Chain A
């Protein structure tokens, strides 16, 4: 039996599509974990990146912290968080958020910092307030790069959120972990396929967001 047969068997089994362990339920849980983690990471990373990028200060410190955060193993962090806090949603969110902040923060910083200084100078010279310069001059031009940071953070979260299943939570990781324990490889492959589908859907979502939000003058077509 090859992988495609596994996939086919998993998805054609009607019992996999209903109940608390059904595909819609697990998929929905996975989306919820991912959206929550991305929202938290964005709430922290985006403002800091925008501010440091606009002022041009703190770039070195930022790069240091981001690299340090990247070096942390998500699984180790999860185990540590569970030991310290106990089971629940919070210890799962900690590694996911820590994972997602660096790409958001560093990309946003770089995106804003590398905006052409001439329009910024022009805006300041015509009496625009600093906050308006950031949101009406710099961000619209930096938006494609900022979105790419958010996108890679989102993809990493989606693929890593499977670890929630290790600490008795749901999500698509359930299929992979349970499948491994039960030596049910059909389940493992099915779960992995669903994670890949969700990652691709995330990519499509960000592509659409870019088409909608980025000005044609910046996209240049």
Chain B
């Protein structure tokens, strides 16, 4: 565990970058430091591996003062990933990744084998091994940066705005990849970002810092969204925090109905029995084809091109309430389509039913909160 004990960083000109920060960073989880520019989040991160020395206070690693061990030993026990990756452009990808193992005295062959293994782990094709950094895209370079930091299998990973410089699509891919790697490896990750959405997506715990390096709130993301500590945190979270909080509720409990789901070749009597004004027509493989008006359908076959698009389906159990609600909002009929992992329709659910599920989830969330508080 990394513990900040009343840590202050004051520069010679009097600026206070971090102000009496006390923080406990749990093991084997992702802790995100987030805040506007000038809030001291990068300084905080850099004090962990002593790239910046604190003016006052101590940082404890598993109870030991971080200043007790030689600085290079300390840094070699922590992976370090920075914005734009900071790759060595004169070295091949495989040699970039092998840097720390080589510093630790591994043989060349073993270090390269380890590097190849890590390339696969971070989703890089090993055919890129002999390339040079300039031959890779920004996203690929960042993956190399992560692989390089993981090379010597350090227990701690420090990441300083690692995904800020890539485009949103690539960024989402890198974030998903990080979560997957974290599931496999269980590192203690400290992650700095100015992007609150990134913080909420990645963080097990999120520390919101404000200008002048003071801690505004330290909480799990769901708690941050449901109960911001003050106006600053609320502003920083942005306008639609209620909607975003739905990401933390599963869609498993949604009551699906199959009344309005009919196969394309259903008899007229079956269609006439439906009470809803719209019907979801499914193909022979059970996949959705589109919505049709009941009255139009009883009059005969509705050709495929006249069916209303069903939008995007959601997968109960995998997707959150937020995704289910989004599907319902995007659907022209106001009903969301639920499918199983193979894309076969399992039912449909109305905005109204989703609304009820949200209210129920909030009530349960509050009850949980009281239990925790009590």
Contact = CB atoms under 8 A, between A and B. Distances in A.
A128 interface: yes
Interface in A96-136: 116, 118-129, 132, 136
The CB with the most chain A CB atoms within 10 A, among B73, B80, B89, B99, is that of: B89
Given A119-B88, A141-B90, A126 B75 contact: yes
A76 interface: no
Interface string B168-183: 0000000000000000
Contacts of A220: 132, 134
The CB with the most chain A CB atoms within 10 A, among B71, B90, B133, is that of: B90
Interface in A169-221: 214-218, 220
The CB with the most chain A CB atoms within 10 A, among B88, B99, B133, is that of: B88
Contact of A126 (B80, B90, B91): B80
Contact of A137 (B71, B88, B134, B148): B88
A213 B100 CA distance: 24
A115 to B, nearest CB: 10
Contacts, number: 79
Given A217-B134, A220-B134, A127 B103 contact: yes
B166 to A, nearest CB: 15
Interface in B324-360: none
A140 B87 CA distance: 13
A123 B87 CA distance: 9
B109 interface: no
Contact of B76 (A127, A215, A218): A127
Nearest to A122: B86
A132 B149 CA distance: 18
A169 B59 CA distance: 68
Interface in A126-165: 126-129, 132, 136-137, 140-141
Contacts of B73: 127
A32 to B, nearest CB: 34
Contacts of A141: 88-90
B301 to A, nearest CB: 62
B29 interface: no
A127 B88 contact: no
Interface string B35-55: 000000000000001010000
B219 interface: no
B51 A124 contact: yes
B86 A218 contact: no
A216 B89 CA distance: 9
Contacts of B132: 215-217, 220
The CB with the most chain B CB atoms within 10 A, among A122, A132, A137, is that of: A122
Contacts of A217: 89-92, 132-134
15 contacts: A118-B84, A120-B86, A122-B82, A122-B86, A122-B87, A122-B145, A125-B51, A126-B103, A127-B71, A127-B73, A127-B100, A140-B88, A140-B90, A215-B90, A220-B134
Given A127-B103, A215-B90, 6 more contacts: A121-B51, A122-B85, A125-B158, A126-B148, A128-B72, A128-B99
Interface of A: 116, 118-129, 132, 136-137, 140-141, 214-218, 220
